[in-house]
Amino acid sequence: MVHERGGWHGEVRPGLLLVGPLTFKTGADGTTKRRPAPNATVKLTETGLIPVRGPAALDPPGADTLAYLAPERLDAPAYTPQGDIYGLGACLYLMLAGRPPHAAAGTEELLAKIRTADPAPLRAVRPDIPADLAALVTRMLARRPEDRPQTAAEVAAALTAFCRPGVVPAAPPVPMASAASGVAPAAPVPHAVPVATAVEPETEAG
């Protein structure tokens, strides 16, 4: 995987995660719901396209990016696999809790919270979430990089217990890009949509 080969993405956030293919179901009221197909996969886009930027606190990006940056990115150009793990943890927190780990009225408040505050415990927001899953997301959001899982492979292995059985097609080898970026561009996913919020469980009429 990319992290094991010394690469990184640098900006893992909801707007760059795509899921597909999707299935479509029209309800009795005429509304159409989209659901991931049984063979759906999640792709991280813009791999190899994220430029190396200076400390985020000196030139803050928009809240839709800043809220998913690791604390060490605020005051230094620290691009590491552990920073990607933090961003993925923040995305999982959003999907499970319906809100980012930190919310603030303005940039300075958001910067301060990312530096010093812990997110509200997931189990306080969603008591139905398995305790081990909530603990994993909490580890991914640790403020110190060494306290997080160290690679995406470690996270994937930990998430397996919470996933439905299935077969994921083997991905082709990812060529490494130059030192100015993490990895080479990924192939597009057909019928994909950004992953920003949790998918509500589908219920059948009794």
What's the confidence (pLDDT) of residue 166? 60
**Is residue 188 very low, low, confident or very high in pLDDT (cuts 50, 70, 90)?**
very low
* More reliable by pLDDT, 27 or 174: 27
CA–CA distance, 56 with 148 (Å, rounded to integer): 21
* Whole-number Cα distances in Å, 62 to 56, 91, 113: 10, 16, 15
158-173 pLDDT tens trace: 999 998 776 555 555 5
- Kindly report, residue by residue over 102-146, the tens digit of the pLDDT: 989 999 999 999 999 999 999 999 999 999 999 999 999 999 999
CB 183, CB 13: distance < 8 Å? no
> Is pLDDT larger for residue 149 or for residue 185?
149
Report residue 33: phi and psi, to 5°: -110, 140
What amino acid is encoded at 97 in this protein? A
Amino acid identity for residue 189 in this structure:
V
Q: For residue 34, what are the CA distances in angstroms to 5, 28, 190? A: 36, 15, 14
pLDDT tens by residue, 78-105: 899 999 999 999 999 999 999 999 989 9
Residue 73, pLDDT score = 95
- 2 falls in which pLDDT band (50, 70, 90)? confident
Residues near 80 by Cβ (< 8 Å), separated by ≥ 6?
8, 72, 145
Crossing angle of helices 131-140/81-97, nearest 10°? 140
H helices of 117-173, where?
A: 122-125, 131-140, 152-159
- To the nearest whole number, what is the mean pLDDT of the chain? 83
Between CA 107 and CA 154 the distance in angstroms is 32
- b/e per residue, 43-65, with b = 16+ CB within 10 A? bbbbbbbbeeeeebbeebeeeeb
* Residue-level pLDDT at 184: 43
